[in-house]
């Protein structure tokens, strides 16, 4: 099988991103989190390092959510009927998203806390 040209490969990746944006509620929630963080980055005037940390965490959560969706779709294709072994696989993939989210919230709390304290005392 011949590899598609680069521009076609890029089109395929965007097709995947559009699909997950339209079809996966949890991915949409994570995108909302990214938008809120983008607002906070600008509003609070975060440093480049802090901005990089926040964006890295946000995209880490989006990547794990995407991989979780891939695992779930593959499992559903392989075994459409209920199977406890498939359930464990899906739970593990969901657990990865939870760990990424907990990590992102922890980093966000550490980065945003000093700014929020200053904002609170300036009111």
Binding-site positions for substrate: 65
- Four-residue CA torsion sign, 18, 22, 27, 31: positive
What does each C-alpha distance from 48 to 36, 44, 53, 54, 58 come to in angstroms?
17, 12, 9, 10, 15
- Please tell me which residue in 65, 86, 93, 108 is annotated as part of the active site: 65
The binding site consists of 24, 65, 72, 90-91
Rounded to the nearest 10°, the torsion over CA 83, 89, 93, 94 is 40
Among this protein's residues, is 65 annotated catalytic?
yes
Binding-site residues for a divalent metal cation:
24, 72
Point out the annotated binding site for ATP.
24, 72, 90-91
Catalytic residue ranges: 65
């Amino acid at each position: 099988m011949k590899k598609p040209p680069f521009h076609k490969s890029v089109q395929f990746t965007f097709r995947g991103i559009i699909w997950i944006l339209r079809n996966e509620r949890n991915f949409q929630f994570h995108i909302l989190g990214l938008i809120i963080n983008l607002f906070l980055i600008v509003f609070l005037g975060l440093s480049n390092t802090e901005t990089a940390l926040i964006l890295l965490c946000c995209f880490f959560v989006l990547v794990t959510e995407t991989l979780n969706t891939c695992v779930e779709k593959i499992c559903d294709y392989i075994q459409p009927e209920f199977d406890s072994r498939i359930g464990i696989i899906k739970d593990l993939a969901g657990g990865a998203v939870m760990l990424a989210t907990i990590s992102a919230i922890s980093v966000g709390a550490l980065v945003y806390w000093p700014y929020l304290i200053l904002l609170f005392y300036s009111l």
